[in-house]
């Protein structure tokens, strides 16, 4: 009987000690949370077979002729963007008018939000890695198939979510496009805080789609529930960030626990036999693709017309 009591109180303590999910960086002797290796005990999908992030091994990547260039729509529109500290990251809300198509995706997807993953004091903080190499920071733009109302609906579809990832790479000069982002983060220090960036345009932050090469694989959300509903695109092109900017990022926010929000990334997961594909543009498609198409069409018409003569 006594033994049973001891046993059940031990179980009870274990339960208490894994109250919520947290990042590796939040674990400590008295931490009351489950780190990445224990997420699967709280959310079974986190132990699944197509988890993210992954390490991309470039020598095993396969060029897939079904993949095409991306088209970003509404990325030139001006909007007021709200930002909120969600306790494990800050989300920048995007309007539905921002859409992505092409890119070998099964349909058109509308934007939901973007967020960043960073490390500790300017160290590596990306989630994905390439040939074992990690980057200082990673941007995720989360999109859902346009027929769904919200992320929750999209997560019930194995290709319901299209996540776009860009790595940041250290540059000698600062990236002025990040100024507005950094200023906004300063205003959402505590979990639940929100603020707004006025007159934001995605095109000022994200490169043009036309000549972007990328990696593609099927995976999951990188935070619990780890739903296996994500078509991942990891772009080859990186975005610049200066050492000063990077070192300021991880000091701006607090976790829900009032500790500095650092090391917000999940370690890489097993591939489990998945293939990573790549798309490499044959030509730079940046020179007014519509004008070229128009010219080609005219040419075809003229050809056809003259063959009738």
Residue 8 binding target from Zn ion, ligand NAG, none, CB below 5 to 8 Å by type: none
Least Å distance between CB 80 and ligand NAG? Answer: 4
Least Å distance between CB 300 and ligand NAG? Answer: 26
Least Å distance between CB 121 and ligand NAG? Answer: 27
- What are the tokens at 250? 């991880």
Q: Note the residue count of the chain.
A: 309
Residue 140 binding target from ligand NAG, Zn ion, none, CB below 5 to 8 Å by type: Zn ion
Nearest-CA neighbor of 255 among 40, 88, 126?
A: 88
If the CB atoms of residues 67 and 142 are measured against Zn ion, the closer one turns out to be 142
Residue 98 near residue 111 (C-beta atoms within 8 A): yes
If the CB atoms of residues 99 and 140 are measured against Zn ion, the closer one turns out to be 140
Tell me whether the omega of the peptide bond preceding residue 38 falls within 30 degrees of 0, making it cis: no
Query: To the nearest 10°, the Cα dihedral for 166, 169, 171, 174?
Result: 50
By Cβ distance, which residue is nearest to Zn ion? Answer: 140
Residue 308 near residue 300 (C-beta atoms within 8 A): no
Contact region for Zn ion (CB under 5 A) — 138-146, 148-156, 186-194, 206-214?
A: 138-146
Place of tokens 């009032």: 258
Residue 214 near residue 238 (C-beta atoms within 8 A): no
Which residues lie near ligand NAG (CB under 6 A)? 16, 19-20, 32, 64, 66, 78-80, 156, 198, 211, 213, 237, 286
Least Å distance between CB 124 and Zn ion? Answer: 15
Residue 78 binding target from ligand NAG, Zn ion, none, CB below 5 to 8 Å by type: ligand NAG
Residue 195 binding target from ligand NAG, Zn ion, none, CB below 5 to 8 Å by type: none
Q: CA 187, CA 175: separation in Å to the nearest integer?
A: 20
Nearest-CA neighbor of 137 among 128, 124, 147, 148?
A: 124
State the DSSP H helix or E strand holding residue 42, giving kind and residue range, or none if neither: helix 39-42
Residue 20 binding target from ligand NAG, Zn ion, none, CB below 5 to 8 Å by type: ligand NAG
Residue 6 binding target from ligand NAG, Zn ion, none, CB below 5 to 8 Å by type: none
With 0-12 CB in 10 A as exposed, 13-18 as middle and 19+ as buried, what is 145? buried
Residue 120 binding target from ligand NAG, Zn ion, none, CB below 5 to 8 Å by type: none
Number of H helices, E strands in the chain: 6, 17
Least Å distance between CB 212 and ligand NAG? Answer: 6
Residue 140 binds Zn ion (CB under 5 A): yes
Least Å distance between CB 256 and ligand NAG? Answer: 10
If the CB atoms of residues 118 and 279 are measured against ligand NAG, the closer one turns out to be 279
If the CB atoms of residues 80 and 190 are measured against ligand NAG, the closer one turns out to be 80
If the CB atoms of residues 66 and 306 are measured against ligand NAG, the closer one turns out to be 66
Q: Name every residue whose Cβ is closer than 8 Å to that of residue 183 and which is 6 or more positions away in sequence.
A: 197
By Cβ distance, which residue is nearest to ligand NAG? Answer: 19
Residue 266 near residue 36 (C-beta atoms within 8 A): yes
If the CB atoms of residues 176 and 244 are measured against ligand NAG, the closer one turns out to be 176
> Where do contacts with Zn ion occur on this chain (CB under 5 A)?
140
């Amino acid at each position: 009987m006594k033994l049973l009591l001891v046993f059940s109180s031990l179980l009870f303590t274990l339960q208490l000690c894994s109250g919520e999910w947290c990042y590796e960086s939040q674990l400590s002797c008295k931490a009351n949370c489950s780190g990445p290796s224990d997420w699967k005990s709280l959310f079974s999908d986190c132990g699944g077979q197509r988890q993210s992030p992954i390490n991309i091994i470039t020598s095993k990547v396969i060029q897939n002729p079904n993949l095409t260039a991306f088209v970003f729509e509404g990325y030139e529109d001006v909007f007021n963007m709200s930002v909120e500290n969600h306790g494990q990251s800050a989300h920048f809300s995007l309007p539905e008018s921002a859409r992505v198509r092409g890119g070998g995706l099964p349909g058109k997807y509308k934007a939901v939000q973007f967020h960043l993953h960073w490390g500790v004091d300017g160290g590596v903080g990306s989630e994905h890695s390439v040939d074992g190499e990690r980057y200082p920071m990673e941007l995720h733009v989360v999109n859902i198939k346009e027929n769904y109302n919200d992320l929750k609906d999209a997560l019930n579809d194995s290709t319901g979510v299209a996540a776009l990832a860009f790595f940041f790479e250290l540059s000698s000069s600062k990236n002025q496009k990040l100024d507005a982002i950094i200023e906004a983060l300063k205003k959402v220090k505590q979990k639940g805080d929100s603020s707004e960036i006025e007159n934001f345009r995605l095109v000022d932050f994200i490169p043009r789609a036309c000549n972007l090469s990328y990696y593609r694989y099927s995976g999951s959300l990188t935070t619990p529930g780890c739903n296996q509903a994500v078509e991942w695109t990891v772009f080859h092109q990186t975005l610049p960030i200066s050492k000063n900017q990077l070192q300021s990022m991880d000091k701006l926010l607090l976790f829900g626990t009032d500790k500095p929000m650092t090391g917000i990334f999940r370690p890489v997961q097993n591939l489990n036999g998945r293939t990573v594909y790549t798309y490499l543009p044959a030509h730079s498609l940046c020179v007014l693709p519509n004008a070229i198409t128009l010219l080609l069409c005219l040419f075809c018409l003229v050809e056809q017309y003259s063959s009738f003569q």
